[in-house]
A and B are shown apart, each in its own frame.
Chain A
């Protein structure tokens, strides 16, 4: 790689470390949770130290995720606000998916799809942690709460994991070079201008 390659800073080190702490804690919690979700995935329990270990640590993974995500939320929630253009973008999201971006509003630092993921994960985190606490200590929780939690926890998990599947796909295969932005913190100017034109103009104006 050329030393003098032109770069645009995309995520600072705090953002990147936060992101990967969120990602690791979420992944751990997801995989241990999936072991309990389906008997066909119970082999995951063996991978993570056996059933009782998984049952013991899965909630702590969730607590770590919630804490890291709260930090991410504090840092990003203003930038993630959905604006007029974003709503239009979402209505035309199918065009984005098939690489025909006619009429699609230009994206800022985050496009409307990314912003949506952020809010889906935020809502998911709130439901997951509050129902998770109920399931954590069944012997002390009222029965009606447990019966509600046992339904809502997996529903929220499926939504969050579904969102994550799309997110990982976007962050790795579907949008080449994005990954480097989240690892090394920079992207090529051409990438920035094409994916996030409004943001690119803002950061290059200065």
Chain B
């Protein structure tokens, strides 16, 4: 069990500022930086993820790409996507690690109806708790990155934990440990954003003027941040262009909830006070 402080809990009031033992200590949030320009598609991170999380190795179907599987699964949380794109007559072969983005404003957590099934720690990690998960799959609809996957048998949703179990005891995530090119790094979010900016500067100096950081503001930013050589076309990497919590989810969990509660409560109170004021409908028996 990890010892990190909690920032938000699904279907529960905001816990407020951290308190209790350790509250004074935690001042920064963590992040993972993925520099796609130095990723060689070796999939060491995929292996490390399966190993650390004790997950089986799965055999998929050959789809004509180097990609291990077509998508994440309930027991496969870290996928190197191999994308081919054409840009100005050039063929681009783009590799990008794909996993939970650990959003600052997570749509999964917003959509979840089960108290405690999803928690966001003050360090920024968004974690699923199987024991509280009821298997409704609302998180799958709330997530703008299509990350959570429902296990068909256990009816629990699973995804990357950012190795919250390792991070809470001061270790870096397993994927980071395995990466042979250092294209993955882990640290405080501020440090890594600075590092990403420096890297983008360097790339631009090399003439790769479309380079940029992928840290989408629509979800408040993410705790998994990318450096992309073609940041003007994130969709070429399989990343959504402007991810945000879907408006139907926001409406459903916001104004609609209030309106609905008002209608239901109003109905109960309204009928009650109708009775108090007007009473039942009486009749005079005129049939003899």
Using CB atoms and an 8 Å cutoff, list the residues of chain A in contact with chain B: 6, 35-39, 42, 45, 51-52, 54-56, 97-99, 135, 138-139, 143, 146-148, 150-151, 154-155, 158, 161-162, 165-166, 169, 173-176, 188-191, 193-195
Contact = CB atoms under 8 A, between A and B. Distances in A.
B55 interface: no
Contact of B155 (A52, A97, A148): A52
B252 A151 contact: yes
Contact of B137 (A42, A139, A162): A139
Interface of B: 11-12, 111, 113-115, 132-138, 140-141, 146, 149-150, 152, 155, 246, 248-249, 251-252, 256-257, 259-261, 263-264, 267-268, 271, 274-275, 278-287
In the complex, the 6 A-B pairs of residues with the closest C-beta atoms, listed nearest first:
A190-B285, A138-B137, A194-B283, A51-B134, A169-B271, A165-B267
Given A139-B149, A155-B260, 4 more contacts: A135-B137, A154-B260, A161-B267, A166-B267
Contacts of B278: 97-99
A40 to B, nearest CB: 9
A23 B20 CA distance: 49
B248 A162 contact: no
A interface SS class: helix
8 contacts: A55-B136, A138-B137, A147-B246, A150-B248, A155-B260, A173-B271, A176-B280, A195-B283
Contacts of A37: 113, 257, 260
A55 B134 contact: yes
A38 B261 CA distance: 9
B274 A169 contact: yes
A45 B267 CA distance: 23
Contact of B248 (A148, A161, A166): A148
Given A51-B114, A162-B263, A190-B286, A143 B141 contact: yes
A193 B113 contact: no
Contacts of A166: 267, 271
A122 to B, nearest CB: 19
A174 B280 contact: yes
A36 B113 contact: yes
A38 B132 contact: no
B287 A193 contact: yes
A124 B1 CA distance: 45
Contacts of B114: 42, 51
B280 A162 contact: no
A161 B246 CA distance: 26
Nearest to B9: A39
A45 B135 CA distance: 13
A15 B264 CA distance: 28
A162 B264 contact: yes
B135 A39 contact: no
Contacts of B146: 143
A138 B150 contact: yes
